[in-house]
Amino acid sequence: QVQLVESGGGLVQPGGSQRLSCAASGSIFWIYRIGWYRQVPGKPRELVALVRSAGITQYGEAVKGRFTISKVDAKNTTNLQMNSVRPEDTGVYFCYADIQSRASGFRSDYWGQGTQVTVSA
């Protein structure tokens, strides 16, 4: 079994900063991609940021220049540093990972339960 656990959500002031973390655990052989999607009220679920095993990053247009994702570390954890946050960043942030299982050998998509981020004064 593979689990993704998010942390770091909460209330953030406009213009402020917040850091989200996603820790992957369980039967992991290799993490090909890991990152974040978000569900913003009134909008389709959208990409926030992804990082590949080689360190190549991809960002959603709405967050480019403001958010930064880290390469997965030795603890199988990635961080999303959110700077200059705006009220429209409010939503549920879901960790996503493309992982090959050590136990089964299969490569599958995994999702965390989500963490609420609210940007408000």
- Among 74, 86, 71, CA closest to 35: 71
Is the pLDDT at 3 greater than 90, yes or no? yes
DSSP 58: E
State both tokens at 121.
Answer: 């004064």
Query: Tokens 């926030």 correspond to what residue?
Result: 48
76: pLDDT strictly greater than 90: yes
| Residue partners of 12: CB distance under 8 A and separation at least 6 | 18, 82, 85, 117, 118, 119, 120
Q: Could you tell me the strand order of the sheet in which 67-69 lies? A: 2-7, 18-26, 77-82, 67-69
pLDDT at position 18 is 98
Q: Is the pLDDT of residue 1 over 90?
A: no
CA dist 16 and 114 (Å) reads 21
Regarding beta strands 115-119 and 10-12, do their DSSP bridges make them parallel or antiparallel, or are they unpaired?
Answer: parallel
Whether 42 has a pLDDT exceeding 90, the answer reads no
- Can you tell me the distance from the alpha carbon of 19 to that of 3, in angstroms, rounded to the nearest whole number? 20
User: To the nearest whole percent, how much of the chain has pLDDT over 90?
Assistant: 97
